Amino acid sequence: MKKLGMASVMLAVLRREVAVAMRQKGEVLTPLVFFVVIASLFPLGVGPESALLLRMAPGVLWVSALLAAMLSLQRLFATDYADGSLEQMALSSTPLGLLVVAKALSHFLLSGLPLVLMAPVLGLQFGLEPRSLGILMLTLLLGTPTLSLIGSIGAALTLGVRGAGVLLSLLILPLYIPVLIFGAGAVEADAAGLGFGGHLSLLAAMLVLSVFFAPLATKTALRISLE
Q: Which residue has the higher pLDDT, 195 or 3?
A: 195
Q: What is the largest CA-CA distance in the chain?
A: 60
pLDDT digits (tens, 9 = 90+) for 130-139: 898 999 999 9
pLDDT digits (tens, 9 = 90+) for 39-94: 888 888 877 777 888 888 888 999 999 999 888 887 888 777 777 777 777 777 77
What is the reported pTM? 0.88
Which range scores top for mean pLDDT: 22-26, 72-76, 108-112, 162-166? 108-112
Would you kindly state where each structural domain of the chain is located, as residue ranges? Answer: 2-226
Handedness of CA 9, 69, 202, 198 (dihedral sign): positive
Q: Give mean pLDDT, residues 33-37.
A: 90
The rounded mean pLDDT for the chain is: 84
What is the distance between the alpha carbons of residues 159 and 103, in angstroms, rounded to a whole number? 15
Reference 186, options 207, 201, 176; nearest CA is 201
